[in-house]
Structures are given as C-alpha cells and as structure tokens.
Amino acid sequence: MDILFSTERIAERIAAMGNEITEFYRDRPLTVIALMNGGICFAADLSRAIALPIWLDSIGVASYANRTSTGTLDFRSTLKLDPKGREILLLDEVLDTGTTLKHVSEKLRALGAAGVHTAVMVEKEIPRPNGLAHADWAGFLCPQRYLVGYGLDADERYRNLPYIAAID
C-alpha cells in the first residue's frame, strides 16, 4: 500500500473545508446528504467541522461492482428528509467518473432542492465527459489510482483505514 494522504493531512484539510463551507452557507440553512457507504467517514468528520446548525441525511447508492464502474447508478435507499426547498451539500469520498454525483445532484434538483453543491475528500484528475466535471469542494486532487481507506474500499474492505492509500 502506498499511503497518499495521512490521517493528519486529512484532519487538516477537513478543518479547512469546514471553514470554507461555513463561510459559504453562513446565512442559509444547510442540509448535508452523505452518499453511503463510502461517504460515511468523510461525512462524519466534515459535518462536525461545519460551524452551522445542519440537517443530516444519507442515501445509499452504488455505481461500482468488482472494482469497476458499471456506468449506471443503483439507488439502494431513500432520503428521510424531503429535499424540496433545501440548500443541499452532497458529500462523497471520491469523485472518480462523476456518474454518481451527477445523477444524485440531478435527482435532488428534480425533487425541488433550492441548490445542490458537492464536496469530496478526493477528486481524481481525469476527464469526465459524462459525469460531474468537478466538485465544489475537494480535499485532495490525485491522479487515477485505485484508492482505499477513509471510506474508500476494495470489494468492501479497507474502508476503516484512517488514511487514504493506493493499492494499484
């Protein structure tokens, strides 16, 4: 394993992102939606770093099988909160192909969200012709590598690592 982002670097970046997001949403009610399962670690840490009252929800989605993007999105659960009229910050651990964030953002807008922004822990530096081009906030940029840790997995393993590593 090649450790790319240490526990300490992640904590520092989360604190900075929390400050940036707090300033951006300063006078607006904010609903944070975590994409599960991968976004759980990032969402827990970032939501605590946002110095505003927030509503917190999650939705289960999957676009990978056997370590490969399927190109489709499987909604595995539904939201508890109605997104209509809400300012939403959508959190995921990684922006890879962009398919997941693009489709979930579109669905939230179609359900009447007042605004949808995105934040990811890692944004891969790759072309995304059919996905979301960039996240509004990204913890780190990195080249195309297979990442694990801090919510990222390889066949559901390694999510609990406190750092982000490449296993390619």
Q: pLDDT tens for residues 40-54?
A: 999 999 999 999 999
When the pLDDT of each residue in the chain is averaged and rounded to a whole number, the result is 91
Q: Are 148 and 158 in contact (CB under 8 A)?
A: yes
The answer on pLDDT for 71 being more than 70 is: no
Helical (H) or strand (E) element with 124: strand 115-124
Q: Which pair of tokens denotes residue 165?
A: 């590593």
Provide the annotated active-site residues. 96
CA gap 151, 41 in Å, rounded: 6
| Domains located in the chain, CATH noted | 2-166 (3.40.50.2020)
For 72-110, what is each residue's pLDDT tens digit? 666 666 889 999 999 999 999 999 989 889 999 999 999
Sign of CA dihedral 32, 147, 138, 126: negative
C-alpha atoms less than 13 angstroms from C-alpha of 125 in its C-beta half-sphere: 5
Q: Which pair of tokens denotes residue 114?
A: 């007042």
**Per-residue model confidence (pLDDT) at position 47:** 97
- Greatest Cα pair distance in the chain: 44
